[in-house]
Amino acid sequence: MPANKFKPLKRNPFGKVAGVEGFFTPNYTYRVKSTCPGNLIAYWPLSETTGFTIQDETGNGRTGSYNNVTLEQIGIGDGRTGVGTLGLTSGLGNLYSTSFRDAFNPREGTISVWFRVVNLAAWGDNQDRRVFTIGNSGSNSIFFFKNGSVSSSLQARYVANNTINTWSIGTTSSSIGWEHFAITFSRSASEVVYYYQGISRETDTSMGDFVGALNDATAFLFRGTASNATGNIWSGSACHMAVWTTPLTANQVRDLSRIY
């Protein structure tokens, strides 16, 4: 994996720092924005209290839009809220923008997100339920989901030019608490690494070459595609989703999996 040349995360001695418009930035937000800041291209805390806009707090203006979601859900404990689906057959966050499309590098990068299942029954409902999908087609996409084929199982895939890299894990507790997932990918190193709860769970060393750019039909939170209105809908909440154009180190991902 290429060496990371950016400065390492430093502890914030004050716990909080002044943010946009004079408000304080919660500690976890500081942690995200201090991690490889030169490569952080989008950061959506998903903590809006009103409206339909998914705010990007990198300052790059890569906003998205909400549809049929519930704002102000219980957050990870950092003082900010999350966003959740209204039910098992609704909920969509459109993450696509031309700015995000142009900045995103599907061959070198990291995606990090906090997620939770709020309904225990959803763990065993035999439905694939996606936390996020980022790509341009089924042949070229990155997604993370609850696997409906195996009860209480999570799965992630990096698909590039029809070459499929897959990781899965059976959750022993069928948790309804907050959990952290991250995926790093590097075409130059031919390596996809999957992290669950801050721990590297699997490394795939044969990757395809991702073809094409993102499009507005396959860059979503809580769903596979816009047209898939009643299928693959996540049953739960998410917050603090961030995207980098470099594969983060194991230590950096571990830090992102910690609330404080």
Mean pLDDT across the chain: 88
Q: Does residue 102 have a pLDDT over 50?
A: yes
Tell whether the model's pLDDT for residue 2 goes beyond 80.
Answer: no
In the chain, what are the domains? 25-256 (2.60.120.200)
Mean pLDDT of 157-178: 87
pLDDT tens for residues 114-139? 999 988 888 888 888 999 999 999 89
What is the mean predicted confidence (pLDDT) over 221-247? 89
Contacts 24+ apart (CB under 8 A), 121-125: 122/88, 122/146, 122/235, 122/236, 123/151, 123/152, 123/171, 123/174, 124/151, 124/152, 124/174, 125/88, 125/235
Using pLDDT thresholds of 50, 70 and 90, give the confidence band for residue 26.
confident
pLDDT value for 14: 41
Residue 174 banded pLDDT, cuts 50, 70, 90: confident
pTM, 2 dp: 0.89
Higher-scoring residue by pLDDT: 46, 153: 46
For position 17, what pLDDT does the model report?
Answer: 47
CA 71 – CA 75 distance, rounded (Å): 11
Query: Is the pLDDT confidence value at 6 over 90?
Result: no
